[in-house]
Structure formats: C-alpha cells, structure tokens
Chains A and B, each alone.
Chain A
Amino acid sequence: MFAYIVRRLVYGVITLFVLSALVFMLVQFGGGSPLDRLRLNPRMVNVIQKLTVKYGLDLPLYQQYFKWLSGFVSVDRFVVLGASAWIGFGSVVAATAGLFFTKVKATWFRPARAFGVVAIWVSFFWFAKSRVDFAMDWGDSFRGDGPVWDLVFGAAGATFRLGVTALSLALIIGLPLGVFQAVRQYSFFDQVGTLGSFIAFSTPIFIVATGLQVVLAFYLERWTGLKLFFVVGMTQVGYGDLGRLAQMGDIFRHLALPALSIALISIAGYARFQRAAMLEVLHSDYLRTAKSKGLPRRTVLVKHALRNALLPIVTIVTLDVAGIIGGAIITESIFGWPGVGRLYIGAINAVDYPVIMAIVMVIGMGIVFMNIVADILYGVLDPRVRYE
C-alpha cells in the first residue's frame, strides 16, 4: 500500500509538472507581456525597465520557467508563534504514527483508524493555522495585489465554504435519493427521480445559477416582495453589527443559491450512480443469501446492501471534487463570491500569470491528492482490495 501511494504521488508530481509547463507556455505565447498595458504610457519606460528586470521578463523562457518553479517549491516564510505549536505538532505526529502502525485484528478498527487519522490531521491544520505563519514563495501579483500565496489563501476560505456546503448538499440529497429509487425500482418515484436527475445532469451550472438568481431572487422579490436570498457576495454590508443568529441567517441567505447551483449536478450524478450501484447489489447472490437467512428487510437493505453499494460511491465523490471546483469557478463569477474562482477569472482577464499559475497548480494538487485519498479510502473500506 505504501509503495502504491508513493508511485501514485510520483505520477501526480509528473502531472503537475506537465500542467505547469503547459500553462506557463500558453501564458507566455498567448498572453503577451503583462507589462504591455503600461507601455501605452510613454512616461512608464523606466518603470517597465525596472519591472522587467525585477520579474526576470528579459530572461530566456526556460529560465523564467525554472525561476518560477524554484520559487513555487520554496518556503517564503515559516514562523512558529510560541513553543506550544511545537508541542502540538510533535504530539500530532506521534499520534498519527501510532494510529498507522498498530495492528489490531478487530474489523471495526480499519474504518476507525482511517477516521482517526483524518480527524487528527484536520485538527492539526486547524491548530497550525492559528499558531504558524507559513507561506511559499509564489511571487507577486502583476496587478499589484501583493504576494500570490496570500491572495490565493485569502480567497480559499470562501471557496472552501461554498464547496463544502455544495458537497454536503449533494451527499445528503443525492445518495438517499438513489437508494430509495433503487429500492422502489420502476415506481413512480423512481421514474420521476430518473427523469429529474437526467435533466439536472444535462443542465450546465451557469444556467442553474443564473436561473436560480433570476427566479428565486429577482422574480420572487418582484412578485411577492420577499427578499429571501442575496445574489452577490458572502455577507451583507454591516454583517459585523448583526447578532449571532442574524449572522447565521445572513450567511445562509448568501450561501444557499450558489451552493445549490453547484450541488444540483452532483446531486443528479450521485443519485444516478447510487441507484445503479444499489440495484447491482440488490440483484447479487449475497443479498439473496442474506434474505434467505431470515434477516429483517431493513437489515438486509442497510447492513448488507447499502454497505456494499456505498463502496464505488466513495471513488465517485472524491473524484467529483474536481467538478465541484470547476462549478465553483463558474458560480463564483456569477454570484460575485470572493473565492478562488473569481480570483482566477480576474487573473485570466488581466493575464496575471503568477496568480493563474498558482491557482491552476493548487487545483491540480487538490485533484492529485483527492485521487490518492480515493484509493486509500477504497482500500480501507473494501477488504478485497490490496494494492501491490
């Protein structure tokens, strides 16, 4: 398993390498110099000269690329605020190692261990976020917005909020929908669900997003006078002055429509996939065995059918993260959501290549990471899988 993960990581790094070179060349050939705009002003000659040297724009292309690459992988600042961070870090590493290497025979241990490791790492990042100031040297934005690292991670929180909400929605609605459809195969509910998910699956996110915006925000307010949802930004002006409950309501009213726009296509996809997976299990021999043992229908469906039917879903959901990021790019630009997606569109329009490169790489790394997570999860959940 370890060797397998290392191999996957190596492939992932190669992919990222190709990705970076591809985008870099594209930006160089197609984007022109980022300083072109300054050139229109004759008084800027000196400034252009200085900036050209500063960003190394006069160097040959491959040198520029390696300059960018060496910056991308090097640490800009790493400041630990206080000794407690080190203690926390040490104990997290120890606990993780302990979890990984214990050999417990009990069957509940495998999922429990996976859950424990994930929980510890999440709390580690939570901890590190407040106690450690860390940044990579990803260069400065050509638009003068400061270091790219800070730009990207300043926007990442917003995208994370949107993406996690959308993913949760998709899981909470999509999976049960598929399961019920399969259990009641050929029923009216199943047929409506199948048709509905087909339509949702065929509707581009930007149509869902603008459709929701127009109907649930604009026309709803016009016809009924109700202003239920906001269509721009994450919070309204004066958010800080609101009470706690009002703040939560405000977040919901901003988050609902963009999150639903992203989630809808995933809901449809998960429901379709879960239905198929569940049907396959329902027709399996071992389910007939379970029934012939005299188990109650609920136990047969939940313990024997669902447990197996959820296996392939794990892969689908982890791989769908790429789709959700893509959806976030579109949705953020429609709803003026101050996340990575909107930053990306802005950077492309301005040919701000350090920002473009950084975001493409972050998304690429996320996909590589999720692919590996999918494999590991599958290995944990399915006792038949052994990675050589």
Chain B
Amino acid sequence: MSDVLLAVDDLRTYFATEEGVVRAVDGVSFTINRGERRGVVGESGSGKSVTAMSIMGLIEPPAGQIVTGAIDFDGLNLLELPEDEMRKVRGGRIAMIFQDPMTSLNPVYTIGQQLIETIVLHQNVSKSAAREIAAQSLADVQIPYPASRLDDFPHQFSGGMRQRVMIAMGLSCNPELLIADEPTTALDVTTQAQILDLMLALADDRGTSVLLITHDLGVVAGFCDTVQVMYAGGIVESGSASDIFYDPKHPYSWGLLGSMTRLDAAQMHRLNSVRGAPPSVINLPEGCRFRPRCDFALDVCRERLPLLGPSDVEGHTVACHRAAELDLKLVTSEGAPR
C-alpha cells in the first residue's frame, strides 16, 4: 500500500551495561499504515518500549545505541535526521504517551503551561491562541471546566485525569502517529477502558495512527486492528488482531493466550502459564530465543534463529520453524504434545 506512514527496518538498539551488551531490540522490522491501530504485545523486557523510544529518537548515547536499522517516517529517515529537524517531528508529528501519568507531568508547572509550551513549539500561534487550543484539547479529553483547570498543577489531578492531560498534550498538535506506551497500566481497571476509548476515538477523528504498547492481550483484542507479538527483542508473530487471537501460529502467542482469562470462551478452560522466565537479553540462547520455554522445540530450534516469514494466512507472519506443521488451534492447554 502506498499510505505506509512508518516503516521500521531491521532495527537493533543495544545498551552497554557492566554485565555486557543488552540487545534490547534485535532486528525488528514492521510497518504502520495511516490510520492503523497497531498493538504491540509482550512481556516486560521484550523490547516494546525501547522500540518506541528508538522511533522517538530518545535513546541516549553513550549507554544506548541504535546499532543498525532504518526508521522511515513519511519519507524521512528518522535515524539520520539532524537533531533540530528531529525535534519538529518529535512531539509535533509523532507524539508519545507514557505509562505512569503520576510522574510524567512536570510537578512545578501548571497543566496550562505544559500544554501551551508544546502548542507554541509546534504550531505557529501566539500564546493566547495557544491557550485557546489548550483549553479546547482539555475539553476534547472530557476534563470538566477546561479553561480554569489550565491553571492547576498536576498534583491537583487524579491519575486518570492526568492521563487525559497527557493525551490532550499528545494530540494537541494533531500528530500523524501516536505512540502510547502502556497508557492504562497504572490506572484503575474502571478507568482503563474509558481512557482507551477516548484516546482511540480522538485519534480516529484526526486520522492519527496509533502504536499501542501493552502487555494486556485483552486491550489489544478490543482496540487494535493489527498486532505484533514481541519476545526477547524480536517480533515473533504479526497479523490482524483476529488472526492472532483465533489462530495463533507461534507457541509463545499461543501460551500468552492460554494464560489469559476469556469471557468469550465457549467453555471453562484452565488458565495456563508460559513456563520459565524470559531470557536475560544479555545471554540470549542460541537458535530460537523462545526454545528453552517452548513445548514444541526440536533440534532445529536449537541451531537456527527462525525468521519472520509468511504463513498460510495473508498478512499473518510468524517466526517459528514449526509454524507450518503445528496447528495450535487444536492443541488444548492441558494436552500439549512434548
């Protein structure tokens, strides 16, 4: 398709630590179309956030370094953009919302000051006009009395309200891509759905693509068009939300699904868990990175790293040597063949 907004190609972001090199993102490639809602799922440490920070250009050398790869955003190679050009993209064309709204706003400035700062930076408007826009964006995220609340400090807002402010700040400049890094993890269950609904509706209004990072499969199922599953710094499976939900091809995705409570399941089933712990990204196992935890591993899995390749379903890719032969739909969680 021609309306590809973001294309990430073979991104590798490494961190130097005392214990060795952490290969946080190790060969990730994907594309996002305009208006697409993409979900990124994976355990902590799977490289989801580092991917997002790499796109934003917020990896700080010398500790963190993007070793290879290309990030193409609407024809701009973000990795080679000069810093002042990159600043126009960052916050203006790509906005990001972070996990913890309690600590993501500067405590010593009012909400208004922080919103107006962003607006003045990216739009050619006066301070008073920026204040109007700021009030409007607070109204958009359904904060009551937006005009007067502009003069309040972050500590005068609840967690959910602060995340609304963050969303307002992110969307105030009508970005083309909104990266939301676990935006609801720190919130009450009751407000999670509200906030997500609001955020995605606003993004739809503006035609903004969304990259939604989460470890919550339910969120992805409910809100995303497409999903990519990440494990130990790489993408193991990618496809439409329904494909991955109803026809997972990778044992890890299958395991994740099995560990989730589902209200739509036809009958009661036992909750499963993916056994073992995620590998340390310093000493990645040879071959398939999921192999030590995999119920279906063969010798070939020990030898070669499987690459993300097409499956029998159009647009559904998977990185597993046994993807073609395994039919995980038929495997119940209790009777895994060994």
In the complex, A touching B (Cβ < 8 A): yes
B107 contacts A384, C-beta separation under 8 Å: yes
CB neighbours (8 Å) of B262 from chain A are: none
- Most central of B84, B98, B105, B109 by chain A CB within 10 Å: B109
Number of A-B contacts (CB under 8 A): 74
B96 touches A308 (CB 8 A): no
| Chain B residues, CB < 8 A from A384 | 107, 153, 155
Quick one: which of A105, A293, A311 contacts B117, CB cutoff 8 A? A293
Q: Which of B47-99 contact A (CB under 8 A)?
A: 56, 58, 83-84, 87-92, 95-96, 98
Given the known inter-chain contacts A285-B103, A285-B104, please indicate yes or no for A292 contacting B151, CB distance below 8 A. Answer: no
The docked-state distance in angstroms from the alpha carbon of A284 to that of B106 is 9
Q: Give chain B residues whose Cβ lies under 8 Å from the Cβ of A311.
A: 108
Is B105 within 8 A of A295, CB to CB? Answer: no
Residue of B90, B103, B107 touching A293 (CB-CB under 8 A): B90
Closest B residue to A295 using CB positions: B121
Is A294 a contact partner of B107 (Cβ separation < 8 A)? no
Query: Which A residues touch B83, using CB under 8 A?
Result: 297
* A272-302 contact mask (Cβ, 8 Å, vs B): 1 or 0: 0000000000001110111111111100000
User: Which chain B residues border A382 with CB–CB below 8 Å?
Assistant: 107-108
Bound Cα distance A292, B58 (Å)? 7
Closest B residue to A311 using CB positions: B108
B108 touches A288 (CB 8 A): no
Instruction: From known contacts A292-B96, A293-B118, A384-B153, infer whether A308 and B108 are also in contact, taking CB-CB under 8 Å.
Output: yes
User: Chain B: which residue is nearest A386 at the CB level?
Assistant: B155
A308 to B105 alpha-carbon distance, docked (Å): 12
B224 at interface, CB cutoff 8 A: no
User: Given the complex, which residues of A lie within 8 Å of B90, measured CB to CB?
Assistant: 291-294
Q: Determine if B105 and A292 form an interchain contact, defined as CB atoms under 8 angstroms apart.
A: no
Say yes or no for B110: interface residue by CB 8 A criterion.
yes
List, in ascending order, chain B residues with CB within 8 A of A291's CB.
58, 90
Q: A294-B122, A383-B153 are in contact. Are A289 and B106 (CB under 8 A)?
A: yes
Q: Is the CB of B110 within 8 A of A107?
A: yes
A307 within 8 A of B: yes
Instruction: Given the known inter-chain contacts A294-B122, A295-B87, please indicate yes or no for A288 contacting B106, CB distance below 8 A.
Output: no
Q: A179-201: which residues lie under 8 A (CB-CB) from chain B?
A: none
A113 interface contact, C-beta 8 A: no
Q: Which B residues between 270 and 296 are near A, CB-CB below 8 angstroms?
A: none
Q: In whole Å, how far is A10's beta carbon from the nearest beta carbon of chain B?
A: 29
CA distance A288 to B100 in the complex (A): 12
Q: How far is the CB of B201 from chain A (nearest CB, A)?
A: 22
Report if A131 contacts B (CB, 8 A): no
Any B CB within 8 A of the CB of A8: no
Q: Is the CB of A286 within 8 A of B91?
A: no
Residues in B neighbouring A294, C-beta threshold 8 A: 87-92, 118, 121-122
Is A253 in the interface zone, CB < 8 Å from B?
no
Residues 229-278 of B contacting A (Cβ, < 8 Å): none
Beta-carbon nearest neighbor of B119 in chain A: A293
Question: Are B107 and A286 interface neighbours, CB within 8 A?
Answer: yes
- State whether A295 touches B91 (Cβ < 8 A): yes
Residue of A nearest to B83 (CB): A297
In the complex, what's the smallest C-beta–C-beta distance from A382 to chain B, in angstroms? 7
A107 and B152 CA atoms in complex are apart in Å by: 10
Which chain A positions have C-beta within 8 A of B192? none
Interface residues of A in 295-335 (CB under 8 A from B): 295-297, 304, 307-308, 311
B143 to chain A, nearest CB (A): 18
B96 to nearest A CB, angstroms? Answer: 5
Question: In angstroms, how far is the closest chain B Cβ from the Cβ of A316?
Answer: 18
- Report A215-231 residues with CB < 8 Å from chain B CB: none
B residues 118-162 touching A (CB-CB < 8 Å) = 118, 121-122, 151, 153, 155
Chain B window 163-184, contacts with chain A (Cβ cutoff 8 Å), 1 for yes, 0 for no: 0001001000000000000000
Inter-chain contact A107/B58, CB cutoff 8 Å: no
B95: chain A residues at CB < 8 Å are 292
- CB contact under 8 A between A288 and B58, given known A308-B106, A308-B107, A383-B153: yes
How far apart sit A129 and B153, CA to CA, in the bound complex (Å)? 42
Question: Which listed residue (B89, B106, B110) contacts A304, Cβ 8 A?
Answer: B106
B29 touches A (CB below 8 Å): no
The docked-state distance in angstroms from the alpha carbon of A293 to that of B166 is 11
CB distance from A315 to the nearest CB of B (A): 15
Between A285, A292, A297, A381, the greatest number of chain B beta carbons within 10 A of the residue's beta carbon is seen for A292
- In this complex, the member of A284, A286, A307 whose beta carbon has the largest number of chain B beta carbons within 10 angstroms is A286
Flag if B105 contacts A286 (CB, 8 Å): yes
Residues of chain B within 8 A of A308, CB atoms compared? 106-108
**In the assembled complex, how far is the CB of residue B169 from the closest CB belonging to chain A, in whole angstroms?**
7
User: 29 pairs across A/B with beta carbons < 8 Å?
Assistant: A284-B103, A285-B98, A285-B100, A285-B103, A286-B103, A286-B105, A286-B106, A286-B107, A288-B104, A289-B104, A291-B58, A291-B90, A292-B95, A292-B98, A293-B91, A293-B117, A293-B121, A293-B169, A294-B89, A294-B90, A294-B91, A294-B121, A295-B121, A296-B84, A307-B106, A307-B109, A381-B108, A384-B107, A384-B155
Q: Which 9 A-B pairs have the closest CB atoms?
A: A294-B91, A293-B91, A294-B90, A285-B103, A294-B87, A383-B153, A286-B106, A292-B96, A285-B104
